[in-house]
Structure 1
Amino acid sequence: MAVGDVTMPHMHVVNGVKIGSTEAYVRYPNRRDLVVFEFVEGSHVAGVFTQSAFAAAPVLVSKKHLAESAIRYLIINTGNANAATGQTGVINAQKTCTKLAELAGVESSQVLPFSTGVIGEQLPIERLLDGIQPALQDLKDDAWTEAAFGIMTTDTTPKGASEQFELDGVVYTMTGISKGAGMIRPNMATMLSFVATDAPISQSLVQTLLKTTVEQSFNRITIDGDTSTNDSCIFVATGQAGGVEISSEQDPRYSKILEILQRIMNRLAQLIVRDGEGATKFITVAVEGGENTQECCDVAYSIAHSPLIKTAVFASDPNWGRIVMAIGKAGVPQLDVSKVQVWLDDVQICRDGGAAADYTEEQGARVMAQAEMTIRVDLGRGTAKDTVYTCDLSYDYVKINADYRS
């Protein structure tokens, strides 16, 4: 069960975007597992992808196509990652693009393929190809929720965010979906996310907006510390709602677009953590007082990745020594531990590097028992700060991943 409010909102239609899906039986029967996005001609598309050296075949093909052409279609399959599949995997990703392009009347380089699922197995390519026509025949503008279901793997709930807003008297929409529940850590994670707006934004700014907002959202989450082979995040601006194109960061409308996109990305990223495999608790790790952002992130991730801390949170055990252990191994140069402070929500557990004199075990246990909590650290050496989001590590995480291929 996901933690907290994971309600799927009303998903506003984005002018210039159509979505179709079908049951292609990529791995599992009787579920939608093939999704196609169609973008109106003239849309501006940007992407960021995994930094894994074992990047999946669809990632390689998508990066190539994105650099070559004006993108018109996305195709996403679940159940099979098409990763660690060698040249055959690349050929199959290209075949997928070619078949869709032939049916849609575009160039194959105008199609971006995405896959998620089991690594190291070849795609059931014929079943996938046979599913493209039904998916195209299903295209409609109000299918965001269906698409959110269609890209799920071990997710227990679909993930979406959507807002409407006004700029200079014109009403615009921004809507997005994501998937992911395990093999999640920054740069990016076993996650896919697709966000679109009908606001008119130049190609260069679409890429800038995406990179900026991903850094503080999808690159600030971790479930198990494992970076996937298939991570991809796409942002599209169709421009179909009208208005003058936003082509400069100095445009007064840019800051509003950035604010809304950051909120959408934050929501989609945090939904992934809330739906972490086996998760029972949502944890915010906030680190302040650093000399720079990097050391704040290093400490936050050291805490968020620690299986000892994550299992203690699962058990509601306020074993705060594990937190200072994680701070100590984060590699902060010449850290003066006598200046370090640590809180669980509003309860200070560590003061000036040692146990807070007024701290009691009952106070810590009260916070640890909550479904949502914050671990806050002040390093006492500067003004930098940053935040990472994670979840606990439960029995069910082991069960889900032990049974993943069965």
Structure 2
Amino acid sequence: MSSRTPSAPAVARPGWGQAVATVLAGLLAMGVVAALGLWAAGAGDLPDGAFPRVVAATVVTAVGGVVRMSGDAGGLAETRAGVDVIPLSVTLAGALVIAAGFVRPLRQGSVSGAGELAGWAVRIAVPWLLALLGLSLGARQTFTISLGEGMISDIGDLFGITPEVGFAADVPLTLLCGLLWLAVVLVLAPLASRGAPLPGSLTRFQEAVRPAAYAMVMLLLVCVGLGLVVGLVAATTRGHPAETFAVLLLGLPNLAWLALTLGLGATWDGRVEGPFALPMPHVLDQVLRSSDVSAVNVGTLAEHDGRVWWLVPVAAVLVLAAAFVTAAGSPAGMPLWRHAVHMAVALALTVLLICLLGRVSASYGLSVLGIGELGGDLAGELFLRPRIWSALGLAVLWGLVTGLLGALLAKGLRRKGAG
């Protein structure tokens, strides 16, 4: 009489259908957030049915794609325009949805090995590239620029000048940057997800990297959550709700993560020249509108609004909480200095990411027979860039101090729990 060992039930591996659904869900989330934000900003009134193309361009830039501006005003005039900003609200929406879809098979146990994990990532990458190709081809439009009134308008009418400005996605570069963006999301998703067991060959990363990765993701999301609360309060108490919701739906993480770095002591350099309507707090607009490059930090902002000093204690509490979460999720026998080093490295990488993603640059101008680059409504410039090395140095210092304190707090709680 032979005995049979019951076999484990077969687990369905994630296939192409699930990969396509994950990609479509992510793009749908990004498209909805971008469309609502642009609609609230007034882009729904753009001529020539340009709104869908502007939405496509916004999604393209949200995943790191490149959208180039171009101008044409004939031989007697010259136009220039350029925009370099990432709408991080759109980016965050897509990253969260795609990450959730990628991690789901891990939690269900349908992906168990490193090879299967890589195959699952490839199945997502293929429809992602195809969808991104379609968006890139659709992200192009041309607009006619009004010369306004006065001498320049008269010259334009005399010579029949009709300046145009447009945008078009750089397809090859967009596909490359979009694939890199997806790779970062798919690498960080399982590392930052506590409920998703990693394949056996990757378990060493589970103890060394996952606690810090999880804590940093939570830190960034909490900053966005606090910014959302502040934005909703401002929308209900200070008027201009459409403008506020446009900022929330397009650039909430841009401002929330900028505020985090400012609370840690970082300085950003920036300037606004011309009639740009800035999607940012009034106090920041005040500092940037000067005759020279302005240093943006807690001190300069507090000269216009003393409440800005609250960024420092809020940042301290949030970073300390992240350090505690990191220590609590790390092995119990880890030395204190290693906790401090892990936190310093994680916070420095997080601040570096914010500095790279939070840069803003925009400009436009029109010159007719050499006239026009004199300000007014025909020229403008905006930029905001971080002092990266000082920001990283401060992040390392904050990480070392809070990493040590967080480890001590976690160690004390463990002792009380054991007792």
Structure with a larger share of its residues in strand: 1
TM class, shorter-length: under 0.3
TM-score normalized by structure 1?
Answer: 0.24
